[in-house]
């Protein structure tokens, strides 16, 4: 089970600066790799643990999508949500220079730039969601609307079939 952590990531510091209540988890010794593994390591519902995906549209604009770890981003729904004809995932090597985060530690909070962000509508099902704390092995739990303190986001159906 993920343990509460004393270590602070930049995401945690940002939340504290804004006096936003959050829970934090450290799963560094769990061996968890996939998001579903992370949810299991934390003893949490995988529908409540969200991953942050960065894409690029046909226009060249970058977009961020935050979806449950057990889900797959439906690229057509995602493109529709941001008004693009087509979007695709960015290459892994582009993630760090673009966002300041590494693959597996990407958080919607505290990216280098504010990108148009869309959260899966399932976030409305929960009082709190769990997202990366910006470093592999660390997660934060907070109310979904508190993420908007750092990056405004819209809500759309982003997973599953058309």
At 76-109, the pLDDT tens digits run 999 999 999 999 999 999 999 999 999 999 999 9
Q: How confident is the model at residue 73 (pLDDT cuts 50, 70, 90)?
A: very high
Q: How far apart are CA 8 and CA 34, in angstroms?
A: 22
Burial of 108 (0-12, 13-18, 19+ CB in 10 A): buried
pLDDT for 6 equals 65
**Quick one: 13 exposed, middle or buried, by C-beta within 10 A (0-12, 13-18, 19+)?**
exposed
Q: What average pLDDT does the chain have? A: 93
Residue listed under structure tokens 């493109």: 79
pTM (predicted TM-score): 0.94
> Which residues lie below 8 Å from residue 157, measured CB to CB, with a gap of 6+?
77, 120, 121
Distance of CA 23 to CAs 28, 34, 99, 104, Å? 16, 21, 23, 19
Rg (CA), the chain: 15
CATH number belonging to the domain at 10-156, selected among 3.20.20.10, 3.90.960.10, 3.40.640.10, 3.90.640.10: 3.90.960.10
Sheet order of strands, 62-68 included = 87-89, 50-57, 62-68, 116-120, 153-156
């Amino acid at each position: 089970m993920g343990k509460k952590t004393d270590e602070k990531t930049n995401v945690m510091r940002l939340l504290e600066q804004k006096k936003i209540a959050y829970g934090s988890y450290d799963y560094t010794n769990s061996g968890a790799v996939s998001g579903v593994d992370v949810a299991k390591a934390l003893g949490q519902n995988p529908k409540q643990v969200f991953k942050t995906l960065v894409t690029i549209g046909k226009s060249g604009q970058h977009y961020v999508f935050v979806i449950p770890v057990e889900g797959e981003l439906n690229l057509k729904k995602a493109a529709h949500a941001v008004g693009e004809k087509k979007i695709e995932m960015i290459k892994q090597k582009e993630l760090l220079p673009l966002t300041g985060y590494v693959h597996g530690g990407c958080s919607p909070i505290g990216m280098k730039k504010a990108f148009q962000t869309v959260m899966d509508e399932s976030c409305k099902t929960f009082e709190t969601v769990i997202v990366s704390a910006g470093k592999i092995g660390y997660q934060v739990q907070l109310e979904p609307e508190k993420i908007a303190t750092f990056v405004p986001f819209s809500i759309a159906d982003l997973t599953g079939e058309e």
